[in-house]
Structure 1
Amino acid sequence: MTTNNHPAHGPVSLDRLHQIREILSKAAAQSDGGNLGYAMADAVKVIDGAITSFGAEPVAWTDEQELRDVEKDGCGYLFKANPISPNADARRVIKLYRHAQPTPVTPDDLVMVPKRLTAENGAKGVLSGEFSETKFINCPECFGDDECETCDGSGRIEITVPVSWTNIKAIWAKGIEHFTTVPHEENI
């Protein structure tokens, strides 16, 4: 079994960025020019930008309602970031930065999934009919009164019934609720 414990397989810390910058800077300075030397110098510039954005503070904030207003009306509000208003609902605040922020790394054993299963996100088409459960019902031939080939005399037969779309969505919602990292309003 192979493991990926090497630092190159994980997120890059600020300290690691400084180390990489130093290594590439020295290598670019010692280079005799050419494509590799220019590429290393360009990489140092990119790393400088990443180092700058690592400690970035938000310049403003907004929320989903304001973004909907911008989409609908072409106008919405941005709010001062320092400090964020104590009246703001911290769960709804969307922080805005001058430069794009590093994307969070999703560990290999996790995946991103939709919070809700819908026909629009394709889940209904993929999952409907995929799951079934076994149920036992009274034999419609003999009702358990006599010897029967359908139920072998037991009076009951086993049937397979597809799990309803409503139940699939309920199971999914329960899983999302269990694995979510954000507290729900009703749990606060």
Structure 2
Amino acid sequence: MSKELWDAVLGRADVTATKEQQAHAAIVLNLKDSQLVHFMNATSAHKIWAALEGFYQTQDMASQLQLKEKFASFKYMATDMSAHLMELEQLVLQIRSANFEPDEEDVCATMLRSLPASNLVSNLIAEEVRKQESCRIESETALHVDKQHEKRQFARKSGGQRKKGANIQCYNCEKRGHYALLGEG
């Protein structure tokens, strides 16, 4: 819509009668027949636009309330968790498009509240076990790296002249430094 036509929609006084008629026609031609019934008595583009705003603002409030109710009573109905989370994300997007912005805390609370109690408890326990296992693995890895470091430090201090197999004891003659192969005697 051009600026002159938009000025007519806004109800500015300096708009010519032709521009007013063009703006009026542009709005009316873009309405569905079922919508025209609500705006038949409006005589100007400005009055039609104001009536449209009032009509759809009321519907927006009703849809916001409906979406808020759906958000507050959201429950786990999906076949799997990813589908459930996708449904919640779609609901949040619908709420945002209705000019209502739920807090991140509200979204998290709704997600947790929507889960079955058995699912929530078992998942929290599984997550705790996973974290403990992860910490244990990290600790063991750190100890292993530390031992390897100590071995290298010891080898440097001793000049790196350890003989391979110096601590081995022969099961046949019981002397250190070698071992007999099976069957030798």
Look at both structures and tell me which one has the larger radius of gyration over its CA atoms.
2
- Identify the structure with the greater helix proportion: 2
- Identify the structure with the greater strand proportion: 1
State TM-score, norm by structure 2. 0.21
Higher relative contact order (CA 8 A, sep 6+): 1
State TM-score, norm by structure 1. 0.20
